[in-house]
Amino acid sequence: SDPAKAAQLRGVGKRYGSRWAVQDLDLDLNFGQVVGFIGPNGAGKTTLIRMMTGLSTASTGKIEVLDTDLTRQTRSPDGIGMVAEHPRFVPYLSARKNLRLLARIRNVASDEDIAETLRRVGLDPQDRRAVRGYSLGMRQRLGVAQALMERPRLLFLDEPTNGLDPRGIVEFRELIRQLAAAGVAVFVASHLLTELEQVCDRVLFVRRGRVLEELDLHCFQEETVRVSVTGPD
């Protein structure tokens, strides 16, 4: 297998009874790349993410993720991070204490790692406020921080900017681009093109489990992000 590839899918299908949730899907995801998956409800994004994270098997085709053949086996390879649409935390603890709790349970990181991870996603490690008082944007960042505790080489994001204000969306895009620049492969699922067009290198348009079109956005996204962050004075 190719060391530059975080994931490679060939002819992947998933059938539930007589119904195909995903059909004949090809996907190449390299480290440092952000690939988007756009489709309406029922397009198959949950099914695809479950297969790529080792939670369910494929009915047809071949799936390789982080050098692990997941076609027929359900097992999560090390190095996978997942940010849910609505990440869950202990509401009465600070961001730092939430991560510390996770670190203890999973035995993954030191206190310095935690402070560094919080800074990396743009949260203040000294902030003592309980997470229940956090804005949606801060919760999303903390969700990413949680996933980063696993030191992922491949990160899955499900509807990441759902409900964020425009500023939050721009900042979130910046964060994703920084992770990609650090070599992380990112897979983002959404039902909105506007959510993905400025953060993805490539976008797959999917409907009823089939890729209708694949769009290469690499040429314009860096420029657009920079302009929208600095803005006119």
Enumerate binding residues for ligand ATP (CB under 6 A): 16, 21, 39, 41-47
Q: Reading across the β-sheet that carries 68-69, which strands appear in turn?
A: 19-30, 5-16, 60-65, 68-69
Cβ 46 to ligand ATP, closest distance in Å? Answer: 3
> In whole angstroms, how close is the CB of 60 to ligand ATP at the nearest point?
15
Q: How far is the CB of 25 from ligand ATP (least distance, A)?
A: 12
Nearer to ligand ATP, 39 or 79 (CB): 39
Closest CA to 145 of 165, 161, 124, 166: 124
Structure token digits, residue 162: 């759902």
Nearest to 162 by CA among 187, 140, 132, 129: 140
Radius of gyration, CA atoms only, the chain: 18
Tracing tokens 């490539």 back to the chain, one arrives at 202
- Indicate the residue among 46 and 224 with the shorter CB distance to ligand ATP: 46
CB of 54 vs ligand ATP, minimal distance in Å: 16
Task: Name which of 152 and 209 has its Cβ closer to ligand ATP.
Answer: 209
| CB 1, CB 167: distance < 8 Å | no
**Minimum CB distance to ligand ATP smaller for 44 or for 143:** 44
Q: Which is nearer to ligand ATP, 64 or 158 (CB)?
A: 158
Q: Smallest gap, in angstroms, from Cβ of residue 32 to ligand ATP?
A: 26
Give the separation between CA 232 and CA 185, rounded to whole angstroms: 32
Residues facing residue 202 across a β-bridge: 35, 216
